[in-house]
Chain A
Amino acid sequence: MSLTTRRTRMAAAALAAITAIGGLAACGKDDDAPVAGEKPAKLVVDTFGEFGYDEIIKQYEKDTGIKVELRKTAQLNEYRPKIVRALATGKGAADVVALEEGILNEFKANPANWADLAPLVSDHSKDYLPWKWELGKAPDGRLIGLPTDVGSLAVCYRRDLFQAAKLPVERDQVAALWPDWNAFIETGKKYRTATGKGLLDSVTTAASAVMFQQGGELFYDKDDNVVADKSAAVKTSWDTAVAMADAKITAETATWSPEWSAGFKQGTFAATFCPSWMLGIVADNSGPQNKGKWDVAPVPGGAGNWGGSWLGVPTQSKYPKEAAKLAEYLTNAQSQVAAFKLKGPLPTNLEALKNQEFLAYTNEYFNNAPTGKIFGESVAKIQPLHLGPKHQAVKENAFEPALRSYEQGQATKDKAWEQFAKDAKTQGAF
């Protein structure tokens, strides 16, 4: 019957079209699930910023015969949505995922998305800075992340600009300029009198440095309740930053803004607070023409930890065992030293921190500053911090905007604090 065939054909065509499109939408289905014990052909690693894994991975590929694809995302705020999307849809996550402190805390609230690494790798609980190791664990006890780097603090300063302002330029003399924060503010005033400019890049880098020196509870208490407006550490950090704004010792730039980036090259400010991962950013922003003009000195008020990451394995990975092994490899002492030399992330592996190669390392761009020694020594003094699930959001969307509003004269001291207290509650609720 030609009619029925025609109808069937029509229906078949329509059906084919629908299934074709439906198939497109449903692509990426797990039809190639691995046979138990089979070695993966390829593992994917997701990182942001610079982890310095390029060389290490080549060695791993040679040793194991497993290909590694390294997917880099430049900025954290582009990187995070990708991870969230992969977790929310259950597809597309890499086998090994770099988790920055803020992200890790947030993901800890839903630990089921992450493989428990403890049974998959050897026992490393004694190999890393103890507090760093502990932070890699979720509330339910599973080990979500293996420690990579830590953001020990220092001050990056411009020798040429210090000289022009008739301030001392050598590292130990500069360190003697600011034993504490009051002395730092006094130095800033002297710099302003001599040059008419701000000493420091932004009020928020200082606030971060002070905050991360305090230790203990910041925006959250131990039970993850938001205590942002009652926390002593936050208040100290706020007050110090406000004093700096009042003394007009900053260049009033917002960190990561175009004014800030251009300021490095143009010399709008002469100092910024550098966790070790920041060294690469300072160098990139300042450009080759300013090589040797920057130097690194200790921070006023003692050691602190700003940032740092872990490596985790999402449960959706097809090869959790091999992925965990790769994460273990990337975080071992040898790899951490190699990564530090390539891009600057500071080791957390105790053996790496004692490594002679690491301790003897000097950074050419920063006037051959012994960065291995400076950062390596301060690491041991870091106080453990409790950050809470949405630390990053509270810091970036409540604390820092309020502080800048005050600095720029958009809000009074009280109004700015009120704005912070209110936003911290909404941003921090989980």
Chain B
Amino acid sequence: MSLSATTAPPSPAAPPPRPPARRRSRSHSLTRMDLKYSPYLYIAPFFVVFGIFGLYPMLRTAWMSLHDWNLIGDHSFIGFDNYVALVKDEYFWNATLNTFGIFLLSTIPQLLLALFLANLLNRTFLRARTLFRMAIFMPNVVSVAAVAIVFGMLFQRDFGVINWLLSFVGIDAVDWDAERWSSWTAIASMVNWRWTGYNTLILLAGMQAIPRDLYEAAALDGASQWKQFWRITLPMLTPTFVFVVILSTIGGLQLFTEPLVFANGNIIGGDQREFQTLAMYMYELGIENLNTAGYGAAVAWAMFLMIALVSGINFLLVRRTVK
């Protein structure tokens, strides 16, 4: 539009004041162009990078999942056969169960604890608040692998500290990676240790954004700390809480490093696959077994759909209950 306006052939009957008008219209359309297109240019870097490193791998994975694909050899198109096989795959459902089990064991206590800690840190009377806030974030700075290795040592059967402590209260040594409940507990404790502080800080930031005068007014009206928390903090915190829950969902359902290191690098996660997560199963099929890369890709997409679904459900649930 603007282009045709500026490049229109000059009419022979043009009056003398035309050049200034034309300049005005040109600069006007320039401004319009600027307004219209520049924002896209500014955000372009993200989308270009996302396209290359995010979208392309996703589409490629989708394409792979429709094939019988050998990672270092041939591949042939088989349609949705991989997905059909997946539905009937006992180990896939086993991995799903493990993933959700560990997810619940880590997310629920973690978020409750984070909420509690954030509320404490938000109190005005606390001394050296910055120090505490930093300290609480520290675990997140440590590398996952290091955390997993250290916790692996703590939860060792023969010489682990946890079993040593349990022995004082008369409990026999637990073989942590041999049973479902014990391995889930051990892995969830790693996740909790690492991510509670992170979530605390996000929730704290959300709390800080709540206007102080609400609390002052409530205090004047005689509302207790507890009541203030329920009636003011929690409702006002909803958007932040939704964000934290969705982040935790994405992270929790993709759990990989902790269980893998806990299993000493064995991808099947325990002798009876008692703590093999979906991400581990995907890796086993997609990377370890060279010839089932297509099937692994199908697991990856199944995981994607599950995360989307669970995030959606969480979003609705959290919005409902907190309101």
CA A107 – CA B70 in complex, angstroms?
Answer: 11
- Which stretch, B44-52, B220-228, B244-252, touches the partner chain A? B44-52
Return chain A residues, CB-CB under 8 Å to B152: 258
User: Of A10, A393, A404, which one neighbours B288 at CB under 8 angstroms?
Assistant: A393
A266-B158 CB under 8 A given contacts A84-B71, A88-B72, A408-B175: yes
CA A404 – CA B273 in complex, angstroms?
Answer: 12
**A187: Cβ under 8 A from any B Cβ:** no
User: Of A21, A390, A411, which one neighbours B48 at CB under 8 angstroms?
Assistant: A21
A397-B287 CB under 8 A given contacts A17-B48, A18-B48, A113-B72: no
Q: B113: shortest Cβ distance to chain A, in Å?
A: 28
**A75: Cβ under 8 A from any B Cβ:** yes
- Which stretch, B132-140, B230-238, B260-268, touches the partner chain A? B260-268
Say what secondary structure dominates the interface of chain A.
Answer: helix
**B153: Cβ under 8 A from any A Cβ:** yes
User: Of A3, A14, A75, A404, which one neighbours B30 at CB under 8 angstroms?
Assistant: A3
Q: A26: shortest Cβ distance to chain B, in Å?
A: 10
Return chain A residues, CB-CB under 8 Å to B49: 21
> Cβ of B30 and Cβ of A397 under 8 Å apart?
no
Q: B1: shortest Cβ distance to chain A, in Å?
A: 13
**A56: Cβ under 8 A from any B Cβ:** no
**A286: Cβ under 8 A from any B Cβ:** no
> Cβ of B153 and Cβ of A258 under 8 Å apart?
yes
> Cβ of A411 and Cβ of B159 under 8 Å apart?
no
> Cβ of B159 and Cβ of A259 under 8 Å apart?
yes
> Cβ of B156 and Cβ of A109 under 8 Å apart?
no
Return chain B residues, CB-CB under 8 Å to A6: 30, 33
CA A401 – CA B284 in complex, angstroms?
Answer: 15
Return chain A residues, CB-CB under 8 Å to B41: 10, 13-14
Return chain A residues, CB-CB under 8 Å to B289: 390, 393, 427
**A268: Cβ under 8 A from any B Cβ:** yes
Return chain B residues, CB-CB under 8 Å to A25: 52
Chain B interface category by residue count: 35 or more
Return chain B residues, CB-CB under 8 Å to A75: 265
**A8: Cβ under 8 A from any B Cβ:** no
> Cβ of A110 and Cβ of B73 under 8 Å apart?
yes
A396-B266 CB under 8 A given contacts A262-B158, A401-B272, A402-B271: yes
**B242: Cβ under 8 A from any A Cβ:** no
**A167: Cβ under 8 A from any B Cβ:** no
Question: B285's closest neighbor in chain A, by CB?
Answer: A426
CA A6 – CA B6 in complex, angstroms?
Answer: 14
> Cβ of B70 and Cβ of A254 under 8 Å apart?
no
**B290: Cβ under 8 A from any A Cβ:** yes
**A257: Cβ under 8 A from any B Cβ:** yes
Interface residues of B in 76-118 (CB under 8 A from A): none
CA A251 – CA B71 in complex, angstroms?
Answer: 39
**A410: Cβ under 8 A from any B Cβ:** yes
Return chain B residues, CB-CB under 8 Å to A256: 264-265
CA A107 – CA B71 in complex, angstroms?
Answer: 11
> Cβ of A257 and Cβ of B264 under 8 Å apart?
yes
Where the two chains meet, the residues of A that have a C-beta atom closer than 8 Å to any C-beta of B are 2-3, 6-7, 10, 13-14, 17-18, 21-22, 25, 75, 77-78, 81, 84, 87-88, 106-107, 109-110, 113, 253-254, 256-259, 262-263, 266, 268, 390, 393, 396-397, 401-402, 404-405, 408, 410-411, 419, 427, 429-430
- Give me 11 other A-B pairs in contact (C-beta within 8 A), A2-B30, A109-B73, A405-B271 excluded: A14-B44, A25-B52, A84-B287, A87-B72, A262-B156, A263-B158, A393-B288, A397-B284, A401-B268, A408-B178, A410-B272
Where the two chains meet, the residues of B that have a C-beta atom closer than 8 Å to any C-beta of A are 3, 6, 26, 29-30, 33, 37, 41, 44-45, 48-49, 52, 70-73, 152-153, 156-159, 175, 178-179, 264-268, 270-272, 284, 287-291
10 CB < 8 A contacts A-B: A3-B3, A14-B44, A18-B48, A21-B45, A21-B49, A22-B52, A257-B264, A259-B159, A405-B271, A408-B175
